[in-house]
Amino acid sequence: MKQIIQDLKNGDTILEEVPVPAIKGGYVLIRSTRSLVSQGTERMLIEFGKAGWISKARQQPERVKMVLNKIKTDGLKPTIDTVVNKLSQPIPLGYSNAGVVIGIGKGVSGLSIGDRVVSNGPHAEVVSVPQNLVAKIPDNVSDEEAAFTVIGAIGLQGIRLAAPTFGETVVVVGLGLIGQMTAQLLKANGCKVIGLDYDEDKLALAAQKGIIAANPGINDPVKLVNSLTTDTGADAVIITASNKNNDIIAQAANMSRKRGRIVLVGVIGLELNRADFYEKELSFQVSCSYGPGRYDPAYEQKGHDYPIGFVRWTEKRNFEAILEAISGKQLDVSSLISERIPLQNYAQAYSNMSATKRIATIIEYAETIQQSTITYKQKDLSAQKGIIGIIGAGNFTSAVILPTLKRNNEQVKTIASANGLSAAILAKKFGISKASSDLNEILDDPDIDTVFITTRHAQHADMSIEALKAAKHVFVEKPLALTHEELDAIIDTWKQSNTTLTVGFNRRFAPLAQKMKKLIGNIHAPMNIIATMNAGAIPANSWVHDMASGGGRILGEACHFIDLCSYFTGSKVKAVCMNAIGTQPEENTDNASILLQYEDGSNAVINYFSNGSKTYDKERIEVYSMERTLVMENWRKLTGYGFNGFSSSSSRQDKGHTEQFVRLMKSIKAGNAPIIPFDELVNTTRATIAAIDSLKTGAWVDVV
């Protein structure tokens, strides 16, 4: 299928051939018939992409601070690599779509195959959308009209925040697409509506709908509003304009009545004059997209609705309200259409967006053949060993795994991702033969003998089992499993397989870790280890914190360092105790200390913190044994105390990914033993899960 994407490096729009998204739980698969180009939001994205590096940096000062901190801790080259990788990932365009349901994921209710629906899906021939962002289209509403729904909901949410009552005067500043729809909805609500814009065509269009339309470049907007309200002022002002100066907010305050309401839907300068707001006791509020539920993973990704008795208008219910307004002829969107273009002529919609007077562009889709796999080039790999298929095309795959495999001249035949787009982008970038949204394309391919699994954590165990059953060697990113039951199932499957399983515990392969192991030597004396991870905070609503999909940061990340401590001791963990700030795993797994007891008498403490300074080292390891001490700082410096012939060494940061993949592929091709013994993988995973058990019970937990 085809999808419109944007190259963030230069702002170019591209019509990309990508696999059709896979059907997944909680999601709806929709064949697009129409979608609407948002002249406001999409224009801003295009302008940002076309801006130079300096301009991009000025627009994102917080990101600049993050980059500078990363340079201090990780070094210049890793930071540059991260930034370049981020900008090289194109983004999908579009978020107002109409089409027909062709697939329904597990857990979706209220929809059937063949239903006509709207969604916030992108400009693509087939889209996959969470069920709470999908609404049925009434029979008397065309797909073309329905395509306005999501953008209309943005204006409607602004109205709900302004809370106008019948007969009030409301000013709409900016009569672009959202402004036009907002003005019409206010009119239908019984309000006197004043619309302001500099474009005479937009003013004329609004006037046709009974809006009092005025050009603020010709008429003083404050005087105009006062004259139309007997010097009372507007009851509410809804700003749908996009303008970086501060005049709009000042004018909005000056034209408002005492205790008036100002709601910002668009993007403007926000240097507020306190006096403007103080004397009139004005209220100011910024509207968030389509309404309650937006950006809440529980609502959008998991499908948990808000009770209607407590949240009357969620984003989905706002969608439905817009559709009802169109159905009842209270909202006329057909008059807003500037042009209709077929998908293949997409470039026409994005040409000269800054200067255009277009209000709404409708993209039309034809029925197409739906393919879950795209083949870019054919290669005969049947006689080779170590042919790789990758399941998962996220940041780690694009930033670390694929560049490393490419440098090592490894052969990746197929990459798969659920949405198809990310797999297609990486396939083209790294010269991979196939991109797919179907993992069976990899599991059923006899050429592929090695599967890399880099999906979200909750999928690791099941996919590892499926790959082992398909007689593939498996490399799975950490963690191997999230529960004891998952781990037991993996063990049972591995026992019946003749292939290897490796977990991405790359730290043990880092040059400084190898140096530390050599300095420690083969003398199995008990040791004490302190491993400190200054991990940094991630948003509370991140999927990583979700125990069901991410497992929390201890299961997802701290397992690295349990493996590393075990590697240094050469022993197995026999008991675990974890203390944290709080006792709820869902909330308290990123500020914790894990105590490990080893069979050989060694002890280790892993401090995993998210509340430290970003300028301090991210990782620090201290090893104490036989009157000797080793201190490793951020994989860049190693200092030894009490060693003959060694005091310190420094190098560029290297966390062991390259060496791990070199050893892995060499062992697979040669048929050698796995690079990490399976019983060590099991012990590390069991110990990590036991740490969570310990947090819940408040006691030491045996690792068995």
Within-domain flag for 638: yes
Query: Is 660 inside any structural domain?
Result: yes
Do 138 and 171 share a domain, yes or no? no
Please check whether residues 468 and 554 belong to one and the same domain. Answer: no
**216 lies in some domain:** yes
For residue 596, give the 3-state DSSP assignment.
Answer: strand
Residue 165 corresponds to which tokens in the numbers above? 């009552």
Q: Say if residues 634 and 655 touch (Cβ distance below 8 Å).
A: no
Q: What is the identity of the amino acid at 548?
A: A
Of 97, 122, 48, 36, nearest to 349 by C-alpha is 36
pLDDT of residue 375: 94
Q: Does 396 lie in the same domain as 337?
A: no
Please tell me the predicted confidence (pLDDT) of residue 356: 66
The yes-or-no verdict on residue 102 having pLDDT over 60 is yes
Number of domains in the chain: 4
Cβ(239)–Cβ(261) under 8 Å? no
- Inside any domain, residue 373: no
Q: Is the pLDDT of residue 586 over 60?
A: no
Q: How sure is the predictor about 70, in pLDDT bands with cuts at 50, 70 and 90?
A: low
260-284 b/e (C-beta count within 10 Å ≥ 16 → b): bbbbbbbebeeeeeeebbeebebeb
CA distance 408 to 283: 60
Give dist(CA 394, CA 81) in Å, integer.
Answer: 15
Write out the H or E segment, with its range, that includes residue 466: helix 460-469
Helix (H, G, I), strand (E, B) or coil at 557: helix
Kindly state the tokens that stand for 644. 């003959």
Which residues, at least 6 apart from 629, have a Cβ–Cβ distance to it below 8 Å? Answer: 622, 623, 640, 641, 642
292-333: pLDDT as tens digits: 999 999 999 999 999 999 999 999 999 999 999 999 999 999
Burial of 648 (0-12, 13-18, 19+ CB in 10 A): exposed
Q: Specify if 253 maps to a domain.
A: yes
**Is the distance from CB of 177 to CB of 160 less than 8 angstroms?**
no
Would you state the pLDDT for residue 336?
96
What pLDDT band is residue 76 in, cutting at 50, 70 and 90? low
Task: Tell me how far the alpha carbon of residue 372 is from its chain's centroid.
Answer: 22
Residue 589 has pLDDT above 90, yes or no: no
Lowest mean pLDDT among 21-30, 251-260, 412-421, 542-551: 542-551
Q: Which of 449, 475, 501 is the last residue of a domain?
A: 501
- Find how far residue 5's CA is from the centre of its chain: 16
Segments in 24-114 forming alpha helices (H): 41-50, 53-59, 61-74, 76-87
Residue 124: both structure tokens together: 């693509």
User: Which of 286, 314, 349 is the endpoint of a domain?
Assistant: 286
d(CA 317, CA 308): 9
379-433 per-position pLDDT tens digit: 777 668 999 999 999 999 999 999 999 999 999 999 999 999 999 999 999 999 9
Q: What is the pLDDT at residue 60?
A: 63
* Same domain, yes or no: 6 and 136: yes
Higher local confidence (pLDDT), 677 or 383: 677
Residues 6 or more apart in contact with residue 410 via CB below 8 angstroms: 386, 388, 661, 665
345 plus 393 within the same structural domain: no
By residue range, what is the domain housing residue 178? 154-286
Q: What is the CA radius of gyration of the chain?
A: 29
Report d(CA 682, CA 500) in Å as an integer.
13
pLDDT category, 75, cuts 50, 70, 90? low
Percentage of residues in the chain with pLDDT exceeding 70? 92
Whichever domain contains 33, its CATH number is 3.90.180.10
The runs of H, that is alpha helices, within 502-573 are 511-520, 552-553, 559-569
pLDDT of residue 583: 63
Say if residues 286 and 157 touch (Cβ distance below 8 Å). Answer: no
pLDDT of residue 69: 65
According to the model, what pLDDT value does residue 370 have? Answer: 81
Task: Provide the pLDDT for residue 3.
Answer: 96
Residue 673 is encoded by which pair of tokens?
């033993």
Band (571; pLDDT cuts 50, 70, 90): very high
- pLDDT, one tens digit per residue, over 171-209 is 999 999 999 999 999 999 999 999 999 999 999 999 999
Tokens of 296: 């809440």
Residues 273, 386 within the same domain: no
Confidence check: pLDDT of 259 > 70: yes
**Residue 325 in domain:** no
Residues 125 and 215 in one domain: no
- d(CA 105, CA 353) in angstroms, rounded, equals 37
> Does residue 327 form part of some domain?
no
Residue 244: pLDDT band with limits 50, 70, 90:
confident
Least confident of 389-403, 536-550, 576-590: 576-590
Residues 90 and 194 in one domain: no
CATH number at residue 260: 3.40.50.720
The answer to whether residue 279 scores a pLDDT higher than 60 is: yes
Assess if residue 312 is contained within a domain.
Answer: no
The residue-averaged pLDDT of 54-72 equals 61
- What percent of the chain has a predicted confidence (pLDDT) above 90? 81
Give the dihedral sign, CA 346/88/442/388. positive
**Alpha helices (H) in 147-294, listed in sequence order:** 149-162, 177-188, 200-207, 221-228, 247-254, 274-278
Residue that has been written with the tokens 């990113």 in this structure: 477
Residue 48's pLDDT is 65
pLDDT at 164 over 80: yes
Report the half-sphere exposure of 488 (CA within 13 A, side-chain side).
Answer: 4
Same domain? For 170 and 118 the reply is no
415 and 495 housed in the same domain:
yes
Identity of the amino acid at 40: G
Sign of the alpha-carbon torsion through 365, 368, 373, 375? negative
Assess whether pLDDT exceeds 70 at residue 90. yes
Final residue belonging to a domain, choices 501, 520, 552: 501
CATH of the domain at 630: 3.30.360.10
Report whether pLDDT(544) > 90. no
Whole-number mean pLDDT of the chain? 92
pLDDT in tens, 38-56: 877 777 666 666 666 566 5
Q: Are residues 203 and 111 in the same domain?
A: no
Q: How many residues does the structure list for the chain?
A: 704
Based on the fold, state whether residues 531 and 415 are members of the same structural domain. no
DSSP class per residue in 415-444? EE-TTSHHHHHHHHHHT-SEEES-THHHHT
Q: Give the lowest-confidence range in 1-15, 156-170, 308-322, 461-475.
A: 1-15
419, 90 Cβ separation under 8 angstroms: no
- How confident is the model at residue 381, as a pLDDT? 74
Q: Cα separation of 490 and 468, whole Å?
A: 9
Here the tokens at position 543 are: 């999927």
